[in-house]
Structure 1
Amino acid sequence: MSPSHPARVWNLISVCLLLLALSGCGFGTRYVFYSSRDVQSTPDRAGMAYEEVWFPSADGVQLHGWYVPAESPGPLVVFFHGNAANITHRVLNLHYLHNLGLPVFIFDYRGYGASQGRPLQERDLYRDAQGALAWLRQRGWSPERMIYFGRSLGAAVALEMALKQPPAGLVLECPFTSLRDIAWEMTPFTYVLVGWWSIDARFDNLAKIARLSRPLLMVHGDRDRVIPHEMSLRLFARAPDPKSLLLVPGAGHSDAHQVGGDSYRTAWINFIDRIYKSKFSHNLTGQQP
């Protein structure tokens, strides 16, 4: 079986870094981000009404996002997507959460999708996330009524925001321990030759997660070929209570919501129920997309 698209991306990044090292060129975080501007789909194609949003990052870069409302009141899911994609690649995920009865806000980091600019440093993504949360506050959404949902690279952004602006709860799907661990896991030879230990982007989730002060739900497919599920086990062991972990048998890097079936859906509903003591969860439908 051929490797998944995210796996090919990580391999491509490693090769590029190797070539840069052999040519004597310096490198930095700018070579880590694999952004995409192609348009895959939009919420209306999946039958969802949505609002197209433009807002500034914390340092003034114009960013693009979607706000997908829900009929029932409930916590807002703030979706931090991963690398090698943009929000138009995540319509199926939006549809799943929308069918649960949850409103969702998703946005593109600078250089991804229709957002302006280009990410050059780790903190650029954090500035983008801060801008998104500031826009949501202007719309009346306080962090106490939000669930931060981060996937893959987005898990690092969601965790950083959970430490700075704590939400009601945090959901991390296929998170990694650190960028350096991913580099070692994918291409140990390149890690040593290029010197990944010197790169300025760390995304060190393992060092941060012990400081989390909000409930945590972690999800990972046990056949993830991009980020090994053992990384979630290490993160989960270090995270403080309350916390829960769902390992989805047979799921890869991007299909836990499809492969997980009832267990995935129940994990979300139970998580929100524990946070809000049934205030919102009785409105969640739990329907299949």
Structure 2
Amino acid sequence: CLAFDYNGYGLATNAKIATTEASATKDIMRVYNFVRNELHWPAERIILYGQSIGTGIASTCAFKAQKAGENIMALFLQSGYTSIRDVAVSFVGVLGNVILNRFNTKQKLKELKCPVLFTHGNIDDVIPYNMSETMMELYTGNDIKLFHTADGKGHNNMSILEDLAIPFSTLISEIEQFREQNNVTIPPAPEEVDVSPYQKE
């Protein structure tokens, strides 16, 4: 598992670069390319995960990887949104249409082919639950697409076990079953991953 912070979030809040779609995309692609080119981890063993604003960025990474001819193992979207404009419209009505249509996840999903897991709290008051429902309905790129409702949960209080770990485990099981039934072979993972050259003292 490899986690990182976009510029403007978490440990990167002191970064001088403002958080934009372009900067966030640059951040995640640098991490993805590091995993692929420096750690030599096969794309077929990579699962991209995004939560909230990160779902749009993770989707963009999956989209770019696919365009480059790489097929990631899966995409896991927690509390996702169709687009930033759609979120704005959900709060302020038609006035939200003045917002630039950034992080257009639903557009990326129209072209993606990887397995996808959606999970969303049905009382989320930040990103409407029905946005994940919409994306689930729209997605036709892969037969493996799963939807989990975090019943009675909002934006930031999902159960790690019930709402994340168990659905994630189901996703992995379905992918492994598909690969076994269809004799799909994937490149092996490196026996050792040496990150010492990249660690700071």
TM-score band by shorter chain is: 0.7 to 0.9
Residue 183 (1) aligns with residue 88 (2): yes
Match of 1:244 in 2: 146
The offset of 1:198, in angstroms, is: 4.2
Match of 1:127 in 2: 26
Q: Distance in 2 between matches of 1:211 and 1:147?
A: 17
* Selected match of 2:10 from 113, 118, 126: 113
Residue 256 (1) aligns with residue 158 (2): yes
Residues 113 and 214 from structure 1, CA distance in 2 versus in 1: closer, same or farther, beyond 3 angstroms?
Answer: same
- What residue identity is the alignment partner of 1:232? S
Q: Distance in 2 between matches of 1:121 and 1:248?
A: 29
> Counting strand residues as a fraction of each chain, which structure ranks higher?
1
Q: Distance in 2 between matches of 1:120 and 1:272?
A: 32
Calculate the TM-score normalised by the size of structure 2: 0.76
3-state SS in 2 of match to 1:107: coil
Residues 200 and 181 from structure 1, CA distance in 2 versus in 1: closer, same or farther, beyond 3 angstroms?
Answer: closer
Residues 93-151 of structure 1 show CA distances to partners (whole Å, capped at 9, x for unaligned) of: xxxxxxxxxxx211111233333332353121111101011221201222211111111
Q: Distance in 2 between matches of 1:237 and 1:151?
A: 19
Residues 44-70 of structure 1 show CA distances to partners (whole Å, capped at 9, x for unaligned) of: xxxxxxxxxxxxxxxxxxxxxxxxxxx
Q: Distance in 1 between matches of 2:11 and 2:156?
A: 22
Residues 223 and 154 from structure 1, CA distance in 2 versus in 1: closer, same or farther, beyond 3 angstroms?
Answer: same
Residues 120 and 108 from structure 1, CA distance in 2 versus in 1: closer, same or farther, beyond 3 angstroms?
Answer: closer
Q: Distance in 2 between matches of 1:212 and 1:153?
A: 19
Report if aligned partners of 1:122, 1:201 keep a CA contact under 8 Å in 2: no
Q: Distance in 1 between matches of 2:100 and 2:92?
A: 18
Q: Distance in 2 between matches of 1:245 and 1:174?
A: 11
Greater mean deviation of Cα atoms: 201-210 or 270-279: 270-279
Residue 227 (1) aligns with residue 124 (2): no
Residues 17-37 of structure 1 show CA distances to partners (whole Å, capped at 9, x for unaligned) of: xxxxxxxxxxxxxxxxxxxxx
Match of 1:59 in 2: none
Residue 210 (1) aligns with residue 107 (2): no
3-state SS in 1 of match to 2:169: helix
Q: Which runs of 5+ in 2 are unaligned?
A: 66-70, 181-201
Superposed, 1:134-149 pairs within 5 Å as 134-137=33-36, 138-149=38-49
Q: Which runs of 5+ in 1 are unaligned?
A: 1-103, 280-289
- What residue identity is the alignment partner of 1:127? K
Match of 1:274 in 2: 174
Flag the structure with larger Rg: 1
The offset of 1:169, in angstroms, is: 0.5
3-state SS in 2 of match to 1:114: helix
Q: Distance in 1 between matches of 2:101 and 2:128?
A: 20
Report if aligned partners of 1:223, 1:252 keep a CA contact under 8 Å in 2: yes
